[in-house]
């Protein structure tokens, strides 16, 4: 249960109270620079509307890595990226634990890539912000998500107070209290893309599986395709709920969708994993869970294939199983 909670906390967005965020763009070298920091370190950063990812020059990455701002556990593997001009390039992938843009917009656990020939220290594409809402630019002003913040009032807005309470409950791993907050928000104001996503994650942590299936299915029908990271976590946790409800075929479908989202998120593949070019323990846990469901269905070869991929990704349970039963990975 503790491992599940730690995974849940990794995937929760920091945008619970997101209203309209306005970020200044600075004209520079024929483009726009933007104020940003990675894991607390300010990095000269450029904004582009063409790219869908965050990328970093090799020099900037090495500085952060050698000074402890990027750890070994953040490094994912080697992949091939499709660039905005249609060309392809090899890139190392890693996870930015905390990306701050502008004065106060914080996004946690965001995939990023190291591009050897990149001349600017860091590049942020507009699609990075789309999981937070609509992205628009007027001149040198970037607006991200939500409605405009209301005029100051003597009393804080009740919904904002509930969101603050939900975030505090999540931070303290009090998921029952967080769920109660989201239920009140839903009843009084309705849930948006971020709060409904977080509610689903909380329900999964509590193993309130029938409710999670209902909420996650509703989220998917309305928001799927806007954020691969969210799509991965929704389908991964939905797979777990279906598995606990003994709905094995639905669990298999959800886990396979989650894996496909992860492949697209990091532009990787089963072939890259088997070659040892890419490994990630989070993905390994999904492969392991899928293998367990295949085992319960009596599909031994599929179970072994999933466990081998999970072991290649660094999942220790799968690696131990493979060693015990002499499954090559």
Q: 109: part of which helix (H) or strand (E)?
A: strand 105-115
Q: Is residue 116 part of a domain?
A: yes
Task: Give the pairing of strands 45-48 and 122-125.
Answer: parallel
For residue 18, what pLDDT is reported? 52
Specify burial of residue 265 (Cβ count, 10 A radius: 0-12, 13-18, 19+). middle
Number of domains in the chain: 2
Q: How many CB atoms lie within 10 A of CB 307?
A: 28
Beta bridge partners of 95: 111
Structure tokens of 135?
Answer: 């992205």
Q: Cα angle at 53 between 105 and 265, to 5 degrees? A: 110
Indicate whether 237 belongs to any domain: yes
CATH classification at residue 255: 1.25.40.10
Domain contains 226: yes
Q: Which two tokens stand for residue 18?
A: 């997101």
Residue 175: exposure state from Cβ atoms within 10 A (0-12, 13-18, ≥19): buried
Looking at the fold, whether 137 and 161 belong to one and the same domain comes out as no
250 and 305 in a single domain? The answer is: yes
Same domain, residue pair 203 and 286: yes
Assigned domain for 91 exists = yes
The rounded distance, in Å, linking the Cα atoms of 131 and 19 is: 13
Residue 325 burial class via C-beta count within 10 angstroms: exposed 0-12, middle 13-18, buried 19 and up: exposed
Q: Do both 7 and 41 map to the same domain?
A: no
Q: How far apart are CA 19 and CA 99, in angstroms?
A: 18
Does 214 share its domain with 161?
yes
3-state secondary structure of 31: strand
184 with 129, same domain: the answer is no
**Chosen domain end from 125, 144, 163:** 144
> Residue 244, SS3?
helix
**Could you tell me if 165 and 305 lie in one domain?**
yes
- Which residues, 6+ apart, have CB-to-CB distance to 152 below 8 Å? none
- pLDDT on residue 319: 96
> String of b and e for 269-294 (b: at least 16 CB within 10 Å)?
eeebbeeeebbbebbbbbbbbbbbbb
- CATH code of the domain in which 29 resides: 2.40.70.10
Task: Examine residue 302 and state whether it is found in any structural domain, yes or no.
Answer: yes
Q: Is residue 329 part of a domain?
A: no
> Which residue range forms the structural domain that includes residue 90?
21-144
Length of the chain: 329
**pTM here?**
0.79
Q: Which two tokens stand for residue 121?
A: 């220290």
Ranges of residues in the chain whose predicted pLDDT is under 50: 1-17, 148-154
**Do 311 and 205 share a domain, yes or no?**
yes
Residue 90, strand partner residues: 80
Is 65 buried (19+), middle (13-18) or exposed (0-12) by CB count in 10 A? Answer: middle
For the stretch 40-65, pLDDT in tens is 999 999 998 877 789 999 999 999 99
Q: Considering the domain boundaries, does residue 16 fall inside one?
A: no
Q: Which of 113, 144, 175 is the last residue of a domain?
A: 144
Direct distance between the N- and C-terminal alpha carbons of the chain, in angstroms, rounded to an integer: 27
Single out the residue of 287, 125, 233, 61 nearest to residue 241, CA to CA: 233
How high is the pLDDT of residue 302? 97
Q: Which two tokens stand for residue 166?
A: 């939900």
Q: Examine the fold and report which residue of 90, 117, 144 is the final residue of a domain before the chain moves on.
A: 144
70-101 in b/e form (b: 16+ CB < 10 A) is beeebbbbbbebeeeeeeeeebbbbbbbebbb
Write the CB contacts of 242 (distance below 8 Å, at least 6 apart in sequence): 209, 213, 248, 250, 251, 254
Cβ distance 109 to 118 under 8 Å?
Answer: no
């Amino acid at each position: 249960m503790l491992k599940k909670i730690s995974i849940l906390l990794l995937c929760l967005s920091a945008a619970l109270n997101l209203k309209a965020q306005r970020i200044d763009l600075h004209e520079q070298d024929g483009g726009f620079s933007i104020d940003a920091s990675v894991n607390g370190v300010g990095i000269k950063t450029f904004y582009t509307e063409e790219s869908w990812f965050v990328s970093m020059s090799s020099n900037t990455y090495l500085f952060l890595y050698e000074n402890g701002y990027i750890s070994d556990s953040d490094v994912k593997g080697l992949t091939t990226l499709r660039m905005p001009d249609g060309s392809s390039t090899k890139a190392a992938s890693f996870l930015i634990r905390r990306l701050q843009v502008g004065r106060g917009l914080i996004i946690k656990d965001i995939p990023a890539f190291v591009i050897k020939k990149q001349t600017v220290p860091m590049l942020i594409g507009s699609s990075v912000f789309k999981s937070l809402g609509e992205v628009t630019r007027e001149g040198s002003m970037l607006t991200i998500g939500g409605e405009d913040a209301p005029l100051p009032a003597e009393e804080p807005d009740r919904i904002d107070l509930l969101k603050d309470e939900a975030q505090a409950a999540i931070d303290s791993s009090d998921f029952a209290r967080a769920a109660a907050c989201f239920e009140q928000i839903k009843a009084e104001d309705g849930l948006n893309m971020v709060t409904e996503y977080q509610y689903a994650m909380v329900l999964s942590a509590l193993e309130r599986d029938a409710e999670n299936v209902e909420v996650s299915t509703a989220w998917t029908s309305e928001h799927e395709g806007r954020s691969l990271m969210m799509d991965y976590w929704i389908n991964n946790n939905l797979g777990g709920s279906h598995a606990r409800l003994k709905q094995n075929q639905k669990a298999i479908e959800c886990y396979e969708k989650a894996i496909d989202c992860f492949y697209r998120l990091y532009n990787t593949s089963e072939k890259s994993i088997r070659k040892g070019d890419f490994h990630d323990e989070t993905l390994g846990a999904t492969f392991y869970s899928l293998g367990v469901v295949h085992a319960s269905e009596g599909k031994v070869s599929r179970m072994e294939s999933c466990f081998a991929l999970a072991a290649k990704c660094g999942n220790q349970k799968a690696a131990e199983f493979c060693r015990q039963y002499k499954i090559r990975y």
